[in-house]
Amino acid sequence: MQTYCLDRIPLNQSGIILYIDKTSKIRRRLLDLGFTKGTEVAAVFSSPSGNPKAYYIRGTVIALRNEDAAEVKIQLLGSGEGKENGTYA
């Protein structure tokens, strides 16, 4: 199983959250927003500069700075898994 940082996944790719770094300064906030183990998350939008990116999670879209998204570790879902037809919003 390969682990990726959330900020590294390409747009329209989804994955399952494995954990959030214990040393993260915003760990509690990410957990409160729904970034919990086993939850599916997908990268759906990016600003022109690439920072921040927006992620679809638990029926909502949340924007995170890349340095904050890097604290979330995920396992990518293969093609055909996750949300049907790649439709998120």
What residues contact 36, with CB distance under 8 A and at least 6 apart?
17
Domain residue extents for the chain: 4-82
Q: What CATH number was assigned to the domain covering residues 4-82? A: 2.30.30.90
pTM for this one?
Answer: 0.82
Q: Which two tokens stand for residue 88?
A: 């998120």
List pLDDT tens digits, range 6-59.
Answer: 999 999 999 999 999 888 889 999 999 999 999 999 999 999 998 999 999 999
